[in-house]
Each structure stands twice: as C-alpha cells, then as structure tokens.
Amino acid sequence: MAADSLLDPDGGMEGVSAFEILPGEWGWTNIDKFYSDPRPKTEIYAELPDGLGNTNTEVFISYDGESKALAQFDVWEDGRFTEHYGLIPIGLEAHFIAVIKISGQLNYTNIPATITENHVQTIDGFTEISEDALITLIDDLP
C-alpha cells in the first residue's frame, strides 16, 4: 500500500501508529563506529514519503560485511531522518531498512545503497511482511 493512500482528507494518517517494532534480535550499533575510519565521510539522511515521519516510521541502516547489527536513525531534522553522529564513509555498501504498521500490519522496505557524497536515501516501496519474515530478511543481509 502506498503511503500517500493512507492520508485522510485532513492530511493526517489513517491506520498508522508509532511503535518500536524490531525485536532485540540483532546487535545495535551507531554510525559513529566509523569515527576513526580514514575514508572521506559524508552526512547521511533518509527521506520518507509524505505522511510518514518520526512518529510512525523507524529507519535503520545495516553495513554490508559487518556483523549483524543495525544502526537506528534517531534524529528527525528538517523533515528527514539522520543519525546523531550522522557521518558515514563514502563508498560504504549498506542497506536501509524502514518499518511501519499500516492498519495493524507490518510493512517494510529494504533498499541497498552505496553511500555517496551528501547521501540522501529516498525511502519508498513499502511491502507487507510478517515479523518472522522480516527477521529472516535482516538475518540474511550481506
């Protein structure tokens, strides 16, 4: 279901609730783990479809080749997510995972990306998924 189809005539959200959906199945990390990395770094942001934001969506990043750990985008700034350190090495291979509940059903998107200078990741293409299937998907990330 497209996020814009959830908007009610007054511009609010229908059937969407804020939550902490991802169970503690993985290690947690922060982007600041790359503080000492010698590669050039850039700011990183995630932009969501209209109507989605920090009150109803969670956004995470997984670094390819790293141990199974997710970093949560925990700062909402100028209508988009970032992470409190917010700098990440250019050229890093990663996956952006976003989750939301729509009418009580878990929806997600998983977007592979190579980090570029001034990286802004567009988050879209949400698909319905079960929690077990989402856990498996995250476990199988590179």
For the chain, list the domains and their CATH numbers.
27-139 (2.60.40)
131 three-class SS: helix
pLDDT of the residue at 70: 85
pLDDT of the residue at 23: 54
Q: Which residues contact 117 (CB under 8 A, 6 or more apart)?
A: 40, 42, 90
Pick out the chain residues at pLDDT < 70.
1-28
Return d(Cα 5, Cα 46) in angstroms, integer.
21
pLDDT of the residue at 98: 95
pTM for this structure?
0.81
